[in-house]
């Protein structure tokens, strides 16, 4: 689990992303702030969509650690989420940020938050298809993208 920043309408916005240990994209969320509430919202969304992880690697971000602590506190699951807060253990996701940064760097930038969310969601879906994460992938990436977008 990690966050990166993207220029949006002249201001920096934060893109929270999570990948599993194979490098497959788990979830993503674009937010206006980098605070505990944003990290907790992202973590709740990822858990609701993909289930509860046993272990999360994060960098030295205090907001991510606080969000995991809050989810563990309110949670009544059997096991709590363990946190490994070591800077170099999340290199998989740091490398995975490259494709988003590369695509948004050469554009003129996003003007509206909603259009940025939709565009980044499309980029993430295309990246998931290229990685082979989509189980019902048809013969081409284009057909798979069209079936997911419909």
Query: For the domain that residue 10 is a member of, what is the CATH number?
Result: 3.30.420.10
**Of 32, 36, 40, 37, the residue nearest 7 (C-alpha):** 32
Q: What is the pTM for the complete model shown? A: 0.70
114 CB-contact burial (10 Å; exposed 0-12 / middle 13-18 / buried 19+): exposed
Average pLDDT over residues 48-57: 86
CB atoms within 10 A of CB 105: 10
Pairing of β 11-19 and β 25-31 = antiparallel
**What pLDDT score does 145 carry?**
61
CB 42 within 8 A of CB 16: yes
Residue 5 pLDDT grade (very low, low, confident, very high; cuts 50, 70, 90): confident
pLDDT of residue 79 exceeding 80, the answer is: no
Instruction: For residues 14 and 117, give the distance between their C-alpha atoms in angstroms, rounded to a whole number.
Output: 11
**What pLDDT score does 149 carry?**
61
Residue 20 pLDDT grade (very low, low, confident, very high; cuts 50, 70, 90): confident
CB 131 within 8 A of CB 24: yes
Return the top range by mean pLDDT from 79-88, 106-115, 131-140. 79-88
Structural domain boundaries, residue 62 = 2-149
**Of 28, 31, 7, the residue nearest 106 (C-alpha):** 7
Average pLDDT over residues 93-103: 70
Instruction: Name the domain count of the chain.
Output: 1
**Of 53, 17, 54, 16, the residue nearest 35 (C-alpha):** 16
Give the SS3 label for residue 135. coil
């Amino acid at each position: 689990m990690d966050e990166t920043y993207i220029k949006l309408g002249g201001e920096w916005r934060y893109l929270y992303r999570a990948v599993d240990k194979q490098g497959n994209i788990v979830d993503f969320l674009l937010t206006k702030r980098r605070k505990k509430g944003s990290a907790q919202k992202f973590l709740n969304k990822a858990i609701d969509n993909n289930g509860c992880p046993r272990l999360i690697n994060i960098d030295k971000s205090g907001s991510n650690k606080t969000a995991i602590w809050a989810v563990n506190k309110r949670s009544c699951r059997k096991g709590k989420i363990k946190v490994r807060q070591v800077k170099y253990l999340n290199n998989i996701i740091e490398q995975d940020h490259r494709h988003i940064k590369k695509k948004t760097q050469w554009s003129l930038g996003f003007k509206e938050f909603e259009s940025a969310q939709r565009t980044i969601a499309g980029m993430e879906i295309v990246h998931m298809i290229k990685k082979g994460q989509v189980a019902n992938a048809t013969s081409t990436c284009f057909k798979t993208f069209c079936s997911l977008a419909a």
